[in-house]
Structure 1
Amino acid sequence: MPDEIDRILIVALMEDSRLSLKALAGLSGLSSPSVAERLRRLEERGILTGYTVNVDPKAFGYMLQAIVRVRPLPGQMRAIERHIQSIPEFTECDKVTGEDCFVARLSVRSMEQLDAILDKLSDRAETNTSIVKASPVKRRLPPLSIVRS
């Protein structure tokens, strides 16, 4: 279970994954080598799974984002899952309960591209698509409070 210092390091890295060991040491009250060791242990335990940058898709011409709910036709679940995985414009996909089996996020350059991608799924699934107008809450972690036993 991560402790309070681990939480401080994780929250700081979520805000800026490029923080130096020296900066993390200053925030946590540890030495730089101690921070490096903590991060290594968090990685080994699978708590920290990667470091990333955020890129605005619009900078590369992806002007539209859509949320697509996908309901595979009978017997097509695995084929649809593989198909979604093979289309790079699908930037996220969750397998969910309920009538739809997948909820996916799609980045496209135009409505024509959206139609072309959805047409690739139409012989194996029903789709319901919503265009994203804004994202008032970006992907984030839930509160990282430490649970005491």
Structure 2
Amino acid sequence: MSLEIERLLDDTGWALLRSLQDDARLSYSELGRRVGLSAPAVVDRIRRMEELGIITGYRVELDLSKLGYSIIAFMRIESFPGEFARLSDRLQSMPEVLECHRVTGSDDYIAKVAVASVAHLESLIDRFTNSQVTTLIVLSSPVTRRTIDHGPRHP
């Protein structure tokens, strides 16, 4: 970790990151009140965290079921020989794919998908003609998002 990143990740920096993860719409004044800095000092800290890639974006969280996507599933995907590169391109082009990760082990990718129905899921699975797919439908999610409140803890 670079020296500047270490300086930014002091107790105040972590307090800012916790607050932003909980509510990225907080005003600079409110953030400053929470961490004991002036609004201009908060602006400067956040700008430096963005420039160094600590903060990579701000997003809206959606209730997918209210948008018509009632099923969330994970797909474990193993490509057949010679299909690996095409599979990556195909996954990137599918709007149902919310996340996709290249993984170790017998699978090549794990993708999180959102679909409107079982029929929609079936049609998505059918698009993987040159792959072995194992699909896991999410029943519930006891942890959906976790706030990172400190650096790695080592034993």
TM-score by length of 1: 0.94
Counterpart CA distance in 1 for 2:11 and 2:152 is 7
Instruction: Find the counterpart in structure 2 of residue 114 from structure 1.
Output: 121
| One-letter code aligned to 2:126 | D
Counterpart CA distance in 2 for 1:139 and 1:73 is 33
Asked if structure 2 preserves the Cα contact closer than 8 Å seen for 1:17 and 1:53, the reply is no
Instruction: Find the counterpart in structure 1 of residue 132 from structure 2.
Output: 126
Residue from 7, 13, 29 that aligns with 1:6: 13
Asked if structure 2 preserves the Cα contact closer than 8 Å seen for 1:12 and 1:24, the reply is yes
TM-score by length of 2: 0.90
Question: Structure 1: which 5+ runs fail to align?
Answer: none
Backbone CA RMSD of aligned residues: 1.3
Matched, 1:29 2:36: yes
Q: Deviations over 1:15-64 (max 9, x none)?
A: 01111101100011000000000000000000000111110111110000
Instruction: Find the counterpart in structure 2 of residue 80 from structure 1.
Output: 87
**Secondary structure in 1 aligned to 2:91?**
helix
| One-letter code aligned to 2:143 | V
Deviating above 2 A after TM superposition, structure 1's stretches of 4 or more consecutive aligned residues are: 139-143
1:23-62 aligned within 5 A:
23-62=30-69
> Aligned pair count?
146
Deviation at 1:140, TM superposition (A): 2.4
Q: Percent identity?
A: 37
